[in-house]
Amino acid sequence: MLKDLGKYIFMIELGIKYIKIFKQTYFHPFITQKYAYQELSKARQQYSNKVLKFLNIKVKLIGKLPKKDKILYAVNHRSLLDILVMENIFSADNKSGTWIAKQELFDDPIYGKFFQYSGCISVDLENKKGLLSFFKKVKKTFIRVDDLNIYIFPEGERYDGEGIKNFQSGAKKIAKANNLGIVPVYINDKLEKVFKNSPFKEPYIVEVHVGDIVSHENLEEKYIEFYQSIRGKKQ
């Protein structure tokens, strides 16, 4: 009980500190949007790395991120830790970008301001006008930030089952509309369980697999092929 309470207190207190840091960039009147995304990305990565260090979780990357930017990273989703793990990877390669997150996360009384001020882009999947506004915002952002990377969970929500849940159409549409290559990413662990058991006395290793760049066409089929190739190597 105390173990669980301690990690939540640490994450919330650190999150409040970083919300203040985010706001300095988010509301800065004299910097470009491109520079703002770079700085917000660095701050998110610092927060993520500090939390992972506290939980004693290390990340092992299998594969390489592409050197080029303007990439959509399609990641499977199991836990809030997924974001922290991916930010750790992006920090090692000096990547900057933005997460696409559901509107309900922005409305959350605890995490909402963190998502908003850290540069994430919200999408309301239940609102057709909201969806149209979302795609316009992404398009406009790429005009101002030509090397932006997009991070998204194409399953749309956390999935506790085995394998991959059916993809929603958002990732494919974003990639097509903005001429983005897509990199499939598979976190080979159930991070909800990992988080529950943390912090660890000995370092806990999370494996993350990164595939080659693919096009938006038949994205889900290509991701499943990528996933099956990983599972086949494990057998």
**Mean pLDDT along residues 8-33:** 96
| Residues 6+ away with beta carbon under 8 Å from 148 | 34, 37, 69, 70, 96, 97, 98, 141, 142
Q: How confident is the model at residue 235 (pLDDT cuts 50, 70, 90)?
A: very low
117 half-sphere exposure, CB direction, 13 A CA radius: 19
- Domain extent, residue 50, equals 2-234
pLDDT in tens, 124-151: 877 778 788 899 999 999 999 999 999 9
Residues β-bridged to residue 186: 209
Q: How confident is the model at residue 45 (pLDDT cuts 50, 70, 90)?
A: very high
Q: By C-alpha distance, which of 154, 153, 5, 162 is closest to 81?
A: 153
Q: What is the CATH number of the domain that holds 82?
A: 3.40.1130
**Single pTM value for the model:** 0.94
Q: Give CA angle at 132 (127, 136), nearest 5°.
A: 145
The three-class DSSP label of residue 130 is: helix
pLDDT in tens, 141-188: 999 999 999 999 999 887 776 778 899 888 999 999 999 999 999 999
pLDDT, position 178:
94
Number of domains in the chain: 1
**Mean pLDDT along residues 211-227:** 94
Q: How confident is the model at residue 233 (pLDDT cuts 50, 70, 90)?
A: low
Most confident of 11-15, 76-80, 231-235: 11-15
**Mean pLDDT along residues 87-100:** 96
Strands 181-187 and 71-75: parallel
pLDDT, position 20:
97
